[in-house]
Structure 1
């Protein structure tokens, strides 16, 4: 019996095409809640940038944010896995030397460091992020625990810089940027943190995703569901592949599996 479902946001709950949650998805989540299933969000977004779930916010029990670096049940922080300070400073150095922007995500604040046209296009236009600071005065954020670094770089550039970030892993879900977190911060570990707090077993969980940063949670969940628009690697490890988000994928899977 499924007691908790974890949903990725971009490309899973929220359409890349419309920037909205399909009506069928809302209906499916309401159906799950009516069966006393807990609903959790599992995203690479930090909490301040989760601004596109207003239709279902009242149905959400908790969040895995920044790819597992900071997890919540209600307002309670369940776990926090910050990036080592040396790796944060190395990323700043690489950004200044090579010339790429990156999102610096602290526990409370965030900014786009070395913002440029590429980061504006990706985050404001393609991902519909409206409340993003672009301030290079990062000293106040550096006094916080740093949860995530999201450089706007290609896959080839990512492979060049990752060896410098010894305590980090990278989870790419978009061709134009990647999310870098501490080595033990991933969505799968976030799931384990939350269900341990709630007394739920792995077999009682289901997770939905579409990107590279969903690999760990799709592998660890009792039932891992890949969207029809997911990458092929994710589909290969999923227990079930549904239709795309724009083709009622979440509704179809929940009707079939729940």
Structure 2
């Protein structure tokens, strides 16, 4: 039997239960199961919410292309807050907001990561780039295994390799052209090191650069974006433009890079597979991602 716990229910000043008008969900470890799929239960709950006029938006650290690969496979259409809020697209795929890292800050962060000996990928408005495919696969294995610790490693490795098979990540000799031309906007660095001490040192150094937001989506990674490119900041703007209050918004997530939206939402839902620290920051703990916890959280408020 699936066990989940309602920790609290939000009420307005008159004691009435707040109506949820927008639902924002993370992807890895949240909307997606260990097979990197959206379950039929999750899909049905999303469609039910949309049919009742509730706005559903994905808020993910993935690029738009990687997010859409899964959404299209499931037959779902919705707005997407991608790359932790660096880019927001409407339901038709049009970019409505972009929050890139200033080129000077991007070069400074890249130099720091190189000096620390930390591998990193570059997410841009033109796609995701790596200068080392093997390390790129290892970095995504870290994200997938962090979100799905009980999943077979063979399945996780195959899922990580799928990014390259589907052309979702581009291999380049170096990143200099991305930093120097005007066509590429730098959205995010996904940095990774199997050396925990090196990773910690790198994170501390990055946190010293003003104008950057530092978070994580795995055991051994660092996500670097503009301070304006955070899920919570992007979500708050998204709902405000639709005449919705954050008090009328539910956010669902499982990791550190979800905290900025979980802390702002009127109803914050942690996945059952989230760490104890994340669960303690939320109002509700639902089932795990393999138990369609997103569906349970949605149906609870409809």
Query: Does TM, scored on the shorter chain, surpass 0.5?
Result: yes
After TM superposition, give the deviation of residue 248 of structure 1 in Å: 2.4
Distance of 2:207 and 2:297 partners within structure 1: 39
Which whole-Å deviations, capped at 9, do the CAs of 1:124-180 have from their partners, x for residues lacking one?
Answer: 735442321121343442222211111113442433431453321211011121211
Q: Structure 1 residues 146, 247: closer, same or farther in 2, change over 3 A?
A: same
- Counterpart of 2:151 in structure 1 is none
**Cα pair 1:212 1:231 within 8 Å, conserved:** no
**Cα pair 2:80 2:88 within 8 Å, conserved:** yes
Q: Which runs of 5+ in 1 are unaligned?
A: none
| Paired residues, number | 255
Equivalent residue runs for 1:151-190 within 5 Å? 151-153=191-193, 154=196, 155-163=199-207, 165-190=209-234
- Counterpart of 1:145 in structure 2 is 185
- Counterpart of 1:45 in structure 2 is 62
- Counterpart of 1:112 in structure 2 is 130
Q: Please identify the structure whose Cα radius of gyration is greater.
A: 2
**Cα pair 2:113 2:202 within 8 Å, conserved:** no
**Cα pair 1:70 1:81 within 8 Å, conserved:** yes
For the pair 1:30 / 2:64, whether they are aligned, the reply is: no
**Cα pair 1:4 1:206 within 8 Å, conserved:** yes
- Counterpart of 1:86 in structure 2 is 104
Equivalent residue runs for 1:119-138 within 5 Å? 119-123=136-140, 125=157, 127=160, 128-130=162-164, 131=167, 132-138=169-175
- Classify the secondary structure of the residue corresponding to 2:30: coil
- Classify the secondary structure of the residue corresponding to 2:36: coil
Distance of 1:72 and 1:162 partners within structure 2: 28
Equivalent residue runs for 1:209-220 within 5 Å? 209-220=253-264
Distance of 1:96 and 1:212 partners within structure 2: 24
**Cα pair 1:81 1:185 within 8 Å, conserved:** yes
Q: Structure 1 residues 97, 119: closer, same or farther in 2, change over 3 A?
A: same
Which whole-Å deviations, capped at 9, do the CAs of 1:204-232 have from their partners, x for residues lacking one?
Answer: 21111001000011111121111001122
Distance of 1:158 and 1:99 partners within structure 2: 9
**Cα pair 2:39 2:292 within 8 Å, conserved:** yes
Runs of 4+ in structure 1 deviating by more than 6 angstroms, as ranges, are: none
For the pair 1:6 / 2:6, whether they are aligned, the reply is: no
After TM superposition, give the deviation of residue 18 of structure 1 in Å: 1.5
Q: TM (normalized to structure 2)?
A: 0.77
Distance of 1:219 and 1:147 partners within structure 2: 23
Distance of 1:133 and 1:49 partners within structure 2: 12
- Classify the secondary structure of the residue corresponding to 1:166: coil
Which deviates further from its counterpart, 147-156 or 90-99?
A: 90-99
**Cα pair 1:8 1:43 within 8 Å, conserved:** yes
**Cα pair 1:226 1:241 within 8 Å, conserved:** yes
Which deviates further from its counterpart, 21-30 or 157-166?
A: 157-166
Q: TM (normalized to structure 1)?
A: 0.89
**Cα pair 1:7 1:207 within 8 Å, conserved:** yes
- Classify the secondary structure of the residue corresponding to 2:29: coil
Distance of 1:88 and 1:179 partners within structure 2: 13
